[in-house]
Chain A
């Protein structure tokens, strides 16, 4: 095993390969607080990439209801339990987050999924889900609870819950890649996208077992494994409508709730991020620290970052997103003027935004947010594409159009 640096853990860790060349990394921020689980993203992906024979149960993008089953069912609870068994009492964080990009959340002292596999015949700790576990992309939420003479009843949640949007994390240290005995999986230096070479893959499913997020899936008709390809022709700027600049993926661009923003960040040889606070993804992850990685303790350094839901119990969230949760929610619930403006840039354009600016505007209203008085300004936020051209300009105050009740029927 080589030693690599994992900034999300704030320490070096063991990984089967030393880091290769890196230039840019595919990354995204998902704002859980705004997702309505419409599954438009899920269907945008499915209707583009996985509607062929053998892909019936394959959802490269899915949105699941937490803390219910997940897709595949209980994927996270199962792996957390395995890790706890292999590293009893050890899955803990220490220290406090630092201002630099090398240890923003403190240090994870427990063992990663690579480290708990040490001394076993596997390179990564994981498991292969049963076919039954892949049956629904949002088990629980989308199932009727009762059939009766009046029809089927859908569940009404009385406790807390939230939606978790999931795609491949195009991890900096992919577990799928680490586990493949054929070296069929590779990570591209130009954008960090992780792909499975369908010619080399023999369908051993080591990647399916190893991926902690269960985002590599087996296709019986081709006897190969497949996974999210990050819509790479769009990222490469090959889509005719993007005029040669990177364009966001199908799941991002179609998001009804405007919860998703995708980007490309510059990375160093050790996979830390190059200082670039005008990049919106960098700004949210490293300046504001409002967006956090999903289960960073697994050790793959995933690249989808989540703004945690402000209403869910903190202990649950700390296990899911690490020790940065409390500060992230504090930042989100009472955002800086700049962050508030940036949140409006989500889904304002389909081009990847490489830089943003905020132009101060007039006072909009005064509120008491989180127990503190604050003024809201109608600032303008501007986004720029890879060529530095302006591609989006929106204001903080959302325009409201009220349809008269008489024509308000769908």
Chain B
């Protein structure tokens, strides 16, 4: 698992080695967590990957542009998924959204039918 490192040097490089300190639960500034049971079938990587891909694809992003979001380490959320699950996993998500032929066009056509041909909307 990759971790971000923020390096700072108070007082210059000579003073740049603070002693390593482990997390102490009673430190009021430490992370205060709540625990929740996560359903066993809750694959958070898949849900996140699909969120990233579909959010952008719905705004017209292409498959190659989205693949880049996973490859570039500066996009930490997407890149983490690629590092953790591997390129084939990412490709399978991209395949699913961009590649597969499935019947029906529910939201798109239904709404297109409701909108007049030239302009305006059916609301009101």
Contacts and interface: CB of A to CB of B under 8 A. Distances in A.
B79 to A, nearest CB: 12
18 contacts: A69-B32, A135-B29, A136-B29, A143-B30, A146-B22, A153-B6, A154-B3, A156-B3, A160-B48, A278-B124, A357-B120, A358-B121, A360-B118, A372-B105, A372-B107, A375-B105, A400-B61, A400-B65
Interface of B: 1-8, 17-23, 28-34, 36, 38-39, 42, 44, 47-48, 51, 54-55, 57-62, 65, 80, 96-112, 114-121, 123-124
A292 B107 CA distance: 21
A151 interface: yes
Contact of A338 (B17, B28, B121): B121
Given A154-B6, A336-B111, A357-B119, A374 B105 contact: yes
B58 A367 contact: yes
B1 A156 contact: yes
Contacts of B118: 359-360
B6 A151 contact: yes
B107 A337 contact: yes
A388 interface: no
Contacts of A140: 31-33
Given A152-B8, A400-B61, A337 B111 contact: yes
B39 A313 contact: yes
A372 B102 contact: yes
Contacts of A127: none
Interface string A279-290: 000010001000
A68 B34 contact: yes
Contacts of B65: 400, 402
B2 A156 contact: yes
A378 B54 CA distance: 16
A221 interface: no
Output the residue of B32, B65, B105, B119 with the most chain A CB within 10 A: B32
Contact of B98 (A151, A287, A333, A367): A367
A376 B19 contact: no
Contacts of A283: 123
Majority SS of interface residues in chain B?
A: loop
Interface in A72-96: 73-74, 77
Nearest to A34: B55
B48 A311 contact: yes
A404 interface: no
Output the residue of B29, B121, B124 with the most chain A CB within 10 A: B121
A151 B3 CA distance: 12
Contacts of B60: 364-365, 376, 378, 396-398
Nearest to A371: B102
Contacts of B48: 160, 311
A135 B28 contact: yes
Nearest to A153: B3
Nearest to A368: B100
Contact of A152 (B6, B96, B105): B6
A337 B110 CA distance: 8
Given A154-B3, A337-B112, 6 more contacts: A73-B32, A140-B31, A334-B106, A369-B58, A374-B107, A375-B105
Contact of A33 (B5, B31, B55, B110): B55
Q: Which 3 A-B pairs have the closest CB atoms?
A: A397-B60, A337-B111, A311-B47
A337 to B, nearest CB: 3
Contacts of A396: 58-60
